[in-house]
């Protein structure tokens, strides 16, 4: 998983040639899973010998170099198969090492988790999925994430990112364990920047079923409360999560968030030094989102509800009316009320 996908079939095959001296006869592999690779390498050597019948050395490397000019398609096909087998073997070994490291508390956990994220981000691969399922990779990642005694915060943060990477890798396989297991509760309890990023990504990937689960577990009040966290980054990420929840959440979940004081907290964020109203700013400013991450928070939430996927049109209208009512309760001056309601009622450009 550590960079081998950046190499072509020739690079991988050539690397194996240099490392294991494949000119010599190949002994039977000790690992039965390597038998296909052994057969392919024998086939590659046979093709090389036939291509280099006039040479005394019968070098596989020279045959591979000739592929660059397109002179031997048969060897190219075998070399591509060799590359695929090498990838599958590295995947199996790395996944097995990761699971062992997570269970033993090894210092290898962090780099191996990063490698898993990078490999999963390359897209679906059936053989990688087989390796993950056979080794119980998700269960090991989830166990480390859910038990503060099993891993320090930095490792748990990497586990959060790895869990999200696995869901994105194959939703059909890994969404079920997320909904039924302890990972979601662990992310809500951790409330770290990495945990909130992972939770936002999971909500965007799984949508209403995960929001329903958060609502059923009573986690929404905790997430709304994070909008008042002392740490600016946590508040900013909690806002992004609230916007995603508003976009995909059903009316029951959004109503529960509003009942927990969501609109009042959004008004407070907009009133803060990092807030403001977009309609009062002088033209578009590319750096505005960094300087004022809480600008027009109420309108941005209202826009997400309005364009979102979780409610029917009449439910959206009802929710918008409730947002307006809550804004009137939360503002501290007529001027603030006019500004916030103008954005909510007539829209604002969401970031």
- Domain map (residue ranges) of the chain: 1-90, 105-206, 232-351
Q: What is the pLDDT of residue 72?
A: 58
Q: What is the pLDDT of residue 142?
A: 97
Kindly report the backbone phi and psi dihedral angles of residue 65, in degrees, each rounded to the nearest multiple of 5, phi listed first. Answer: -65, -35
Cβ(302)–Cβ(323) under 8 Å? Answer: yes
Cβ(297)–Cβ(269) under 8 Å? Answer: yes
Cβ(250)–Cβ(311) under 8 Å? Answer: yes
Q: What is the pLDDT of residue 34?
A: 61
**Structure-block tokens of residue 177:** 């364990």
Which of residues 37 and 321 earns the better pLDDT score? 321
Q: What is the mean pLDDT of the chain?
A: 84
Give the pLDDT band of residue 71 (cuts 50, 70, 90): very low
Average pLDDT of the residues in 104-130:
96
Q: Cβ neighbours of residue 301 under 8 Å, at least 6 residues apart? A: 242, 243, 246, 262, 263, 266, 323
Q: What is the pLDDT of residue 56?
A: 47
Cβ(88)–Cβ(127) under 8 Å? Answer: yes
Kindly report the backbone phi and psi dihedral angles of residue 319, in degrees, each rounded to the nearest multiple of 5, phi listed first. Answer: -65, -40
CA 172 to chain centre: 15
Q: What is the pLDDT of residue 54?
A: 47
Q: What is the pLDDT of residue 274?
A: 85
**Structure-block tokens of residue 199:** 């939770």
Region class of 349: left (phi > 0), else alpha (psi between -120 and 50), else beta: beta
């Amino acid at each position: 998983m550590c960079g081998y996908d950046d190499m072509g079939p020739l690079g991988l095959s050539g690397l194996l040639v240099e490392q294991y001296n494949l000119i010599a006869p190949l002994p039977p592999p000790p690992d039965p899973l390597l038998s296909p690779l052994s057969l392919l390498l024998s086939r590659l050597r046979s093709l090389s010998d036939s291509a280099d019948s006039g040479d005394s050395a019968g070098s596989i490397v020279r045959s591979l170099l000739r592929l660059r000019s397109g002179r031997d398609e048969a060897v190219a096909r075998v070399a591509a198969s060799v590359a695929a087998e090498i990838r599958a073997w590295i995947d199996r070994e790395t996944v097995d090492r990761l699971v062992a490291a997570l269970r033993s508390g090894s210092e290898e956990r962090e780099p191996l988790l990063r490698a898993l994220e990078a490999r999963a981000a390359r897209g679906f691969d059936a053989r990688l999925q087989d390796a993950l399922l056979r080794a119980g990779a998700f269960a090991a990642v989830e166990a480390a994430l859910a038990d503060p005694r099993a891993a320090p915060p930095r490792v748990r943060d990497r586990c959060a990112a790895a869990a999200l990477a696995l869901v994105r890798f194959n939703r059909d396989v890994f969404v079920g364990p997320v909904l039924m297991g302890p990972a979601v509760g662990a992310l809500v309890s951790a409330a770290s920047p990495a945990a909130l990023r992972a939770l936002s990504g999971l909500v965007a990937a799984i949508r209403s079923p995960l929001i329903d689960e958060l609502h059923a577990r009573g986690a929404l009040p905790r997430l709304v409360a994070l909008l008042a966290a002392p740490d600016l980054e946590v508040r900013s990420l909690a806002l992004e999560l609230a916007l995603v929840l508003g976009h995909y959440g059903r009316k029951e979940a959004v109503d529960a968030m509003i009942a927990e004081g969501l609109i009042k907290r959004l008004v407070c964020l907009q009133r803060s030094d990092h807030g403001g109203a977009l309609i009062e700013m002088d033209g578009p400013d590319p750096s505005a989102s960094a300087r004022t991450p809480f600008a027009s928070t109420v309108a941005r939430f209202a826009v997400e509800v309005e364009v979102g996927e979780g409610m029917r049109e009449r439910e959206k209208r009802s929710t918008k009316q409730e947002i307006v009512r809550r804004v009137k309760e939360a503002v501290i001056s007529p001027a603030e009320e006019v500004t916030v309601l103008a954005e909510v009622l007539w829209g604002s450009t969401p970031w």
